[in-house]
């Protein structure tokens, strides 16, 4: 139980509409700290295609940029919703900031876990969250969703592209609010017709057996991972999906974080996983 958090209501909304909003996810002072932590990383990378957004800034591997982004990855209310929808040992598949600048066009309609090529209808392989650092308005590029589209069948993408069904609607929410949604919900970033950028953070979580979007083993230095909390290490993939997915030469991946780790001979090391004795 998390005081003041009605997990049941949020889970019911996720099941029926495909999304839910936690309106008080961060306090104003926490939002200011997020903005300050993001500031040094903005202005360095602009999207390379219509999906990333030619007038959109993105900061990838956000979880490794500051301690508060590690804390955000294991926020209890967020993980409570993930625990109910994903298998134990689920992973962080993406962590990034998205800054939609004035003049940006709307994103193509899409789903976040479409690269898992499994036929619809199906359960989501991943779930996403979008934290509003700025207010989300109808003019500044608020995320737009098609409620209930997570339940659509095999022609979901075609139906969305042809707008055969309810149109996408902007999710209007104040800074500090958090949108959580199914990885198979059809949505998009909206067009920014305002005179100011719209800043947000998105984290995505996937089943423990699925390949992650970001390769954290290469993008996050081991020295940094060693200093992270155990749950964040697990979210980055330093864990085992039974019986042995994720092993490092038949050893638990946490052992590989040790500076003096030497990969053992595979046939002598299966007991290191704690799964064969």
Measured CA to CA, the distance from residue 109 to residue 51 in angstroms comes to: 9
Q: Which residue has the tokens 């059809």?
A: 186
Please state, as a whole number, how many other Cβ atoms lie within 10 Å of the Cβ of residue 41.
17
Q: What is the pLDDT, as a whole number, of residue 43?
A: 85
Q: What is the pTM of this model?
A: 0.92
Q: Is the dihedral of CA 131, 107, 51, 45 positive or negative?
A: negative
Q: Is the pLDDT confidence value at 113 over 80?
A: yes
Q: Is the pLDDT confidence value at 209 over 80?
A: yes
pLDDT band at 267 (very low <50, low <70, confident <90, very high): low
Q: Is the dihedral of CA 72, 77, 83, 88 positive or negative?
A: positive
Q: Is the pLDDT confidence value at 231 over 80?
A: yes
pLDDT band at 273 (very low <50, low <70, confident <90, very high): low
Closest CA to 149 of 141, 158, 140: 158
Per DSSP, 191 falls in state P
Closest CA to 64 of 204, 194, 240, 227: 227
Domains of the chain: 7-235 (2.60.120.620), 249-277 (no CATH)
**What DSSP string describes 83-106?**
HHHS-TT-EEEEEEEEEE-TTPPP
Question: What average pLDDT does the segment 149-166 reach?
Answer: 83
Q: What is the pLDDT, as a whole number, of residue 276?
A: 41
Helix, strand or coil for residue 110?
strand
Q: What is the pLDDT, as a whole number, of residue 162?
A: 74
Measured CA to CA, the distance from residue 116 to residue 250 in angstroms comes to: 27
Q: What is the pLDDT, as a whole number, of residue 270?
A: 52
243 upstream amide cis, omega within 30 of 0: yes
Structure-block tokens of residue 259: 């500076």
The alpha carbon of 200 is separated from its chain's Cα centroid by a whole number of angstroms, namely 12
Question: What average pLDDT does the segment 146-163 reach?
Answer: 86
Question: What average pLDDT does the segment 177-186 reach?
Answer: 97
pLDDT band at 275 (very low <50, low <70, confident <90, very high): very low
Please state, as a whole number, how many other Cβ atoms lie within 10 Å of the Cβ of residue 218.
8
pLDDT band at 16 (very low <50, low <70, confident <90, very high): very high
Q: Is the pLDDT confidence value at 158 over 90?
A: no
Measured CA to CA, the distance from residue 152 to residue 263 in angstroms comes to: 47
**CB-based contact 245:209 (threshold 8 Å):** yes
Q: Is the pLDDT confidence value at 214 over 90?
A: yes
Q: What is the pLDDT, as a whole number, of residue 272?
A: 54
Greater pLDDT, 82 or 274: 82
pLDDT single digits (tens) 47-62: 787 777 788 999 999 9
Question: What average pLDDT does the segment 164-187 reach?
Answer: 95
Q: Is the pLDDT confidence value at 44 over 90?
A: no
pLDDT band at 157 (very low <50, low <70, confident <90, very high): confident
SS3 content of the chain, % helix, strand, coil (to 5): 30, 20, 50
Q: Is the pLDDT confidence value at 269 over 70?
A: no
Measured CA to CA, the distance from residue 241 to residue 173 in angstroms comes to: 37
Structure-block tokens of residue 208: 């423990």
């Amino acid at each position: 139980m998390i005081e003041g958090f009605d997990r049941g209501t949020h889970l019911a909304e996720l099941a029926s509409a495909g999304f839910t909003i936690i309106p008080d996810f961060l306090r104003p002072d926490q939002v200011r700290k997020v903005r300050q932590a993001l500031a040094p990383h903005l202005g360095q990378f602009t999207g390379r295609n219509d999906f990333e957004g030619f007038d959109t800034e993105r900061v990838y591997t956000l979880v490794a940029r500051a301690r508060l982004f590690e804390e955000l990855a294991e926020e209890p209310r967020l993980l409570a919703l993930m625990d109910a929808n994903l298998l134990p040992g689920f992973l962080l598949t993406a962590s990034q900031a998205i800054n939609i600048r004035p003049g940006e066009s709307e994103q193509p309609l899409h789903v976040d876990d479409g690269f898992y090529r499994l036929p619809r209808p199906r359960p989501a392989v991943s779930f996403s969250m979008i934290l509003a650092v700025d207010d989300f308005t109808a003019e500044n590029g608020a995320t737009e969703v098609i409620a209930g589209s997570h339940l659509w069948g095999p022609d979901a993408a075609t139906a969305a592209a042809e707008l055969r069904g309810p149109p996408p609607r902007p999710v209007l929410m104040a800074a500090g609010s958090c949108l959580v949604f199914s990885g198979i919900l059809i949505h998009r970033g909206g067009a920014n017709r305002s005179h100011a950028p719209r800043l947000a953070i998105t984290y995505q979580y996937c089943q423990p057996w699925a390949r992650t979007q970001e390769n954290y083993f290469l993008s996050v230095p081991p020295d940094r991972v060693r200093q992270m909390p155990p749950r964040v290490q697990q979210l980055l993939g330093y864990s085992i999906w039974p019986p042995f997915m994720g092993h490092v030469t038949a050893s638990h991946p946490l052992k590989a974080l040790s500076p003096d780790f030497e990969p053992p001979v595979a046939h002598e090391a299966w007991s290191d996983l704690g799964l064969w004795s």
